[in-house]
Amino acid sequence: DADTSELKEKNKYYQLIVGKYDIYSMFCLRQTLNSFNVKYFLLKSGDSPEIFLDTGNEKLIDDIIKELKKYKINTEVKEIW
C-alpha cells in the first residue's frame, strides 16, 4: 500500500473580482484584507490586477465583501481550487 500520510486536502482558493481598480479602491482593498488577517496575493495582469484569497472560510469572505461595500467597492467571488 502507498503511504498517503503526506496527502492532505488542498485548501480552497477564491478569486476576488473587483469592479474598480483606482488607487483609492486598491488601498481600501489591501487595508481591508490585512485587517481580516487573510492571506492573499495580487497578480498584475493586463489592465486589472487579479486578487486571490488563500482561505476556505466562506463566512470570512462574506464579511470581507460586506466591509468593501462600505467603501463602495463591489466585488464578486469565484472559487478556483
- Using one digit for the tens of pLDDT, what is the confidence trace for 36-45? 999 999 887 7
The model's pTM is: 0.80
CATH number at residue 47: 3.30.70.2030
CA atoms within 13 A on the CB side of 51: 21
Distance CA(13)–CA(40), nearest Å, equals 9
| Calpha distance 77→44 (Å, rounded) | 18
Q: What pLDDT is recorded for position 48?
A: 77
Confidence of residue 61 (pLDDT cuts 50, 70, 90): very high
Neighbours of 41 (CB within 10 A): 11
36 part of a folded domain: yes
The answer to the question of residue 52 being in a domain is yes
Give the range of the structural domain holding residue 36, as residue numbers without chain letter. Answer: 14-79
Mean pLDDT of all residues in 2-9: 57
Which grid cell sits at 58? 466562506
Average pLDDT score, the chain: 87
> What total of structural domains would you count in the chain?
1
